[in-house]
């Protein structure tokens, strides 16, 4: 089954790959690796903002991480010239969680992205990962996630 078909089964329509908000490129390909810059949780309702442990709970944070994953896949599609089936595997996700000093559930928040990658890509979506706290993130977003993909 193609990845586009799988996304359609999940009811997911990829947005256009978000343009960079500053002086950087959205992705860099070197050899068979595609490095995607940090993606923000922008869905149909706009940016998900707030601090985990104060403004948002784990469920809302995981939903924001899923939005980041959708934007990562949109960048992957752009980096693969529109052909998501060129994906070999998701290599690594690095997730940053805008959280209070006492919030310790960053892994549960980033699971929203990790689970989505496996849901979309199956075993190709299993990856190495970091999930870390951040005192603040751009635009006060709840989560930012970057990725490394292996592509053909």
User: What's residue 2's pLDDT?
Assistant: 94
Paired tokens of 150: 């292996």
Yes or no: say if 90 and 121 are a contact pair by the CB < 8 Å rule.
yes
Going by C-alpha positions, the residue among 104, 12, 24 that lies closest to residue 67 is 12
Torsions phi, psi of 116, nearest 5? -65, -40
**In the chain, where the domains are located:** 3-18+29-151
Identify the band that residue 127 occupies on the pLDDT scale cut at 50, 70 and 90. very high
Report pTM.
Answer: 0.97
Could you say which architecture CATH assigns to the domain 3-18+29-151? 2-Layer Sandwich (3.30)
């Amino acid at each position: 089954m193609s990845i586009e078909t799988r996304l359609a089964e999940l009811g997911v329509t990829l947005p256009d790959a978000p343009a960079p908000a500053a002086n950087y490129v959205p992705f860099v390909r070197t050899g068979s690796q595609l490095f995607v810059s940090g993606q923000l949780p922008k869905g149909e309702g706009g940016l998900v903002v707030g601090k985990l442990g104060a403004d948002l709970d784990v469920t809302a944070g995981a939903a924001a991480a899923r939005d980041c994953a959708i934007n990562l896949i949109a960048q992957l599609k752009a980096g693969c010239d529109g052909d998501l089936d060129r994906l070999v595997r998701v290599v690594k996700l690095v997730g940053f969680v805008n959280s209070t000093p006492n919030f310790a559930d960053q892994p549960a928040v980033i699971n929203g992205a990790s689970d989505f990658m496996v849901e979309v890509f199956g075993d190709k979506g299993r990856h190495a990962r970091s999930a870390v706290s951040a005192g603040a993130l751009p635009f006060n977003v709840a989560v930012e996630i970057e990725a490394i993909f292996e592509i053909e």
